[in-house]
């Protein structure tokens, strides 16, 4: 019985986590953008992001298939800047 509960709990945790098999060249760093467990995460500098970096905004990448993208955009005033590797990259004003 304990084994069944453990396997069920582990499966639920995996369902909430980003897909580790998704390969991307985007330079993600840190934990979730709004809170721990958030699928959206900050991006650092790379060839793909360099022209969008700005001291007045954060670059944030979210999975294209994320269920609550509209909520993220509304809550943060995010502006889509490009898409790559199954992610939407947003510019989020500081304090957004």
Is 9 part of any domain?
no
Sheet holding 87-93, edge to edge: 28-32, 41-43, 57-63, 87-93, 79-84
Global pTM? Answer: 0.74
Residue 58 makes CB contacts below 8 A (sequence gap 6+) with 33, 42, 91, 92, 94, 96
75 or 24, greater pLDDT: 75
Is 2 part of any domain?
no
Is 45 part of any domain?
yes
- 43, exposed or middle or buried, with CB in 10 Å at 0-12, 13-18, 19+? buried
pLDDT, tens digit, for every residue of 59-87?
999 999 999 999 999 999 999 999 999 99
pLDDT, tens digit, for every residue of 25-61?
899 999 999 999 999 999 999 999 999 999 999 999 9
Domain hosting residue 85, numbered range: 21-93
- Count CB neighbours of 53 within 10 A: 14
How many structural domains does the chain have? 1
Is 58 part of any domain?
yes
């Amino acid at each position: 019985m304990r084994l069944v509960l453990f396997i069920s709990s582990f499966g639920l945790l995996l369902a909430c986590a980003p897909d580790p098999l998704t390969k991307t060249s985007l330079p993600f760093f840190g934990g979730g953008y709004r809170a721990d467990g958030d699928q959206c995460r900050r991006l650092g500098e790379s060839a793909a992001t360099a022209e969008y970096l700005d001291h007045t905004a954060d670059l944030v990448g979210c999975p294209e298939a994320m269920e609550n993208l509209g909520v993220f955009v509304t809550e943060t005033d995010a502006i889509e800047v490009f898409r790559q590797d199954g992610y939407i990259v947003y510019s989020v004003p500081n304090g957004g």
